[in-house]
């Protein structure tokens, strides 16, 4: 690793160590909000948020993050006992609210912008400074899931902060960037609930249309540029490869992801033809496939000898990383000795080194899109 990279990661570690620990069916339409109209300032003013914005003199891109566990940095509050949506505050996670052993996608994008890590989580922050804010929440997607806000609700919360003046219009009018990281939660049960290929195609079309609608909504609010994830090969996630002993990917799930990506590309291309500019589709499919796909790059196989096996694996087929016995609090999972040899941290999310390998492939297109070529 280069000395500059080591220094950057050291700064990130210091930053994260100072993050406070907080105690504690149809698509959701754009008009459905997280807070009631006229409620006033956002909930951070009630004392539940512990974190003020760093670096008020920052003059780069204001960065606003939406989506799921690929981008969440602490928007699902800590509760006891832990659950699948709150485990990120407990061992073996690093208690920073992230679904990884340290950094996630939003952190790497923020570092490209000159920030030390992802902008502060909305649920932990008083005030919105020039660096932006993170609204992403693990488990989120287009459809409602108990305990986590949908993509549309996250965007509505952002819109309310803009209307209330908590997010200054000048931060949007200058250099502003959003990330939409919707990475497959909606498809967790699609094959179980669909009775035909037409049902699956209709479901995927709805998900894609909602993602595109939220891109339009963000641009109408004033965000200048938007990054949108496509889907990684879902069938290569440990949650699905576990049934084969992590020996191969689930092709049906990969077909669902491929259909999603095809429709999303077409939808965003059609919108661009009709005047919607300022959107970059991040090709997670290609970046992940070079590592965990059926025909991975040789150098990635060498980098990740355990590319399909998660570092944190549950003892039981139905359990998850971080789950504990309700009677003894004993772990129902095991953690590997060397996370850097594993691409996946848990049953869905990459390790920090995994994210570094993915974002290293996407850094060039992002820099070019944002005019950050050096």
Q: In the structure encoding, which two tokens stand for residue 117, read together?
A: 């890590």
Q: Which two tokens stand for residue 236?
A: 């290569």
In which band, very low, low, confident or very high, does the pLDDT at 55 lie, cut at 50, 70 and 90? low
Q: Tens digits of per-residue pLDDT, 85-114? A: 999 999 999 889 999 999 999 999 999 999
Examine the pLDDT at 169 and tell me if it is beyond 50: yes
- In the three-class reduction of DSSP (H, G, I as helix; E, B as strand; rest coil), residue 246 is classed as coil
Q: Is residue 65 a contact partner of residue 136, using CB atoms and an 8 Å limit?
A: yes
What is the rounded average pLDDT of the residues 296-309? 95
Token pair recorded at residue 174: 């200058």
Q: Which of 212, 221, 250 is nearest to 234 (CA)?
A: 250
* C-alpha 288 chain-centroid distance: 15
Q: What percent of the chain has pLDDT over 90?
A: 68
d(CA 266, CA 271): 8
Instruction: Measure the CA–CA gap between 312 and 322, rounded to whole angstroms.
Output: 8
- Given a cut of 70, whether residue 204 has pLDDT beyond it is yes
Greater confidence, 3 or 295? Answer: 295
**HSE (side-chain half, CA atoms, 13 Å) at 72:** 33
What band does 116 get if pLDDT is binned at 50, 70 and 90? Answer: very high
Residue 34 has pLDDT above 70, yes or no: no
Which residue would you say has higher pLDDT here, 32 or 155? Answer: 155
Q: Which residues contact 185 (CB under 8 A, 6 or more apart)?
A: 68, 139, 140, 141, 145
Task: Give me the percent of the chain exceeding a pLDDT of 70.
Answer: 83
Average pLDDT over the chain reads 85
Residue in the block written with tokens 């820099």:
367
If you write DSSP's letter for every residue of 128-158 in order, what string do you get? Answer: --TTEEE---TT--SB-BTTB--HHHHHHHH
Mean pLDDT of 72-91: 90
pLDDT band at 275 (very low <50, low <70, confident <90, very high): low
Q: How confident is the model at residue 32 (pLDDT cuts 50, 70, 90)?
A: very low
pLDDT in tens, 216-237: 999 999 999 999 999 999 999 9
Q: Are strands 312-314 and 333-335 parallel, antiparallel or unpaired?
A: antiparallel
30 pLDDT above the threshold of 60: no
pLDDT above 80 for 65: yes
Mean pLDDT of the 323-330 span: 90
**pLDDT exceeds 50 at position 364:** yes
For residues 39 and 157, give the distance between their C-alpha atoms in angstroms, rounded to a whole number. Answer: 11
User: Minimum mean pLDDT among 27-36, 107-116, 267-276: which range?
Assistant: 27-36
Find all residues with CB under 8 Å of 346, minimum gap 6, and list them: 99, 238, 310, 311, 312, 320, 321, 322
Compute CA 297 distance to the chain's CA centroid, rounded to the nearest angstrom. 25
Predicted confidence (pLDDT) at residue 274 exceeds the cutoff of 70: no
In tens, the pLDDT along 255-264 reads 999 999 999 9
Specify the DSSP class assigned to residue 99: S
User: Bigger pLDDT: 34 or 235?
Assistant: 235
pLDDT at 29 over 50: no
**pTM to 2 decimals?**
0.85
pLDDT at residue 189 in the model: 66
Give the three-class secondary structure for 202.
helix
């Amino acid at each position: 690793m280069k000395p500059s990279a080591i220094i950057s990661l050291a700064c990130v570690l210091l930053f994260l160590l100072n993050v406070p620990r907080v105690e504690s069916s149809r698509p959701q339409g754009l008009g459905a909000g997280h807070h009631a109209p006229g409620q006033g300032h956002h909930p951070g003013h009630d004392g539940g948020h512990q974190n003020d914005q760093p670096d008020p003199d920052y003059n780069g891109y204001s960065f606003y993050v939406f989506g799921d566990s690929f981008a969440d940095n602490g928007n699902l509050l800590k509760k006891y006992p832990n659950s699948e949506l709150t485990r990120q505050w407990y061992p073996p996670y690093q208690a920073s609210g992230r679904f990884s052993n340290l950094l996630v996608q939003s952190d790497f994008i923020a570092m490209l912008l000159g920030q030390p890590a992802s902008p502060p989580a909305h649920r932990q922050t008083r005030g919105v400074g020039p660096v932006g804010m993170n609204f992403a929440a693990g488990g989120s997607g287009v459809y409602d899931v108990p305990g986590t806000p949908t993509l549309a609700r996250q965007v509505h919360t952002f819109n309310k902060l803009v209307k209330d003046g908590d997010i200054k219009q000048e931060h949007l009018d200058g250099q502003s960037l959003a990330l939409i990281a919707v990475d497959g939660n909606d498809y967790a049960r699609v094959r179980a609930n669909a009775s035909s290929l037409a049902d699956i195609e209709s479901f995927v079309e709805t998900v894609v249309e909602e993602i595109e609608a939220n891109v339009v909504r963000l641009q109408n609010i004033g965000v200048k540029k938007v990054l949108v994830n496509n889907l990684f090969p879902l069938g290569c996630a440990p949650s699905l490869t576990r049934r084969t002993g992590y020996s191969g990917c689930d092709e049906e799930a990969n077909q669902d992801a491929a259909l999603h990506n095809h429709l999303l590309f077409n939808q965003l291309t059609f919108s661009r033809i009709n005047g919607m500019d300022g959107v970059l589709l991040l090709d997670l499919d290609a970046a992940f496939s070079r590592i965990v796909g059926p025909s991975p790059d040789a150098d990635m196989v060498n980098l990740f000898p355990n590319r399909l096996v998660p570092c944190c694996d549950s003892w039981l087929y139905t359990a998850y990383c971080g789950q504990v016995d309700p009677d003894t609090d004993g772990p129902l999972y095991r953690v590997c000795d060397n996370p850097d040899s594993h691409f996946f941290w848990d049953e869905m999310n990459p390790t920090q080194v995994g994210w570094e390998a993915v974002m290293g492939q996407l850094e060039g297109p992002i820099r070019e899109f944002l005019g950050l070529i050096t």
